[in-house]
Amino acid sequence: MKKIFIFLTIFLLVCCKPLFAQETENSFVPTSLAGTKSFELTLTRSSQNPITKSITYVLKIKSLIDSPKTEIKWKSDQSIIFKPSHERFLSLNEGAIISVKATVKPKASGTHKITATVNSWQPGTNYENSAEENITLSKDLVVQPVSSEYSTSVIIMYIALLIFSAVGIFVLIKLVKKGSQKAKKWLTPPY
């Protein structure tokens, strides 16, 4: 049992080295509109979670104006659910750079357009800029093309499940043996 455990540990460390490296992100269309003098936006997608199928997006905002009341909105069709983890309105000074995250939970396959819009509410006028990305999901709600990080995460998930199952079965067998000996002793009538 010890040899199997050591072998599996070495196997996981060798095969899963990319997961311990610095987190890599797939950068898509940094939106920096020349005609807009309000914000520079960069929308970045992280790898997909193999258990929940959720995708994390990071929106990097560089403010080119003073904006005391800045609103960030995430939009898509009805089959995409967003969980923004930022305040509804932010205060940004000129030159400030912030990053906000949103978690996307897909509900249907197909091609979906993810849009992040930053709106500065000013007296007399509003300034708006947006960044967008199209993602294609398979029938299993996996982003296409499948990234190597996602494939590695799925393999690790299955190996961990096998290890926990083996440990659970081993513990269950030991408990049944010990419990059956006690039950046999308890059920034997005294002579």
SS3 42: strand
Dihedral pair phi/psi, residue 178, rounded to 5°? -65, -40
Domain boundaries, the chain: 24-143
State the helix-helix crossing angle for 2-15 and 148-187, rounded to 10 degrees.
160
pLDDT band at 15 (very low <50, low <70, confident <90, very high): low
Say which amino acid occupies 172: L
Examine the pLDDT at 46 and tell me if it is beyond 90: no
- Between CA 165 and CA 157 the distance in angstroms is 12
Write the pLDDT tens digit of every residue in 52-77.
899 999 989 888 888 888 888 888 88
* Torsion region of 120: left, alpha or beta (phi above 0 gives left; psi -120 to 50 gives alpha): beta
What pLDDT, on a 0 to 100 scale, did the predictor assign at position 26? 45
Dihedral pair phi/psi, residue 81, rounded to 5°? -110, 130
Examine the pLDDT at 141 and tell me if it is beyond 90: no
CA-only gyration radius of the chain, Å = 26
- pTM here is 0.68
List, as one string, the DSSP characters of 19-34. HHSPPP-EE---B--T
Examine the pLDDT at 78 and tell me if it is beyond 70: yes
Write the pLDDT tens digit of every residue in 154-185.
999 999 999 999 999 999 999 998 888 888 88
User: Which run of H or E residues covers position 177?
Assistant: helix 148-187
For domain 24-143, say whether CATH 2.30.42.10 is its number.
Answer: no
Examine the pLDDT at 28 and tell me if it is beyond 60: no
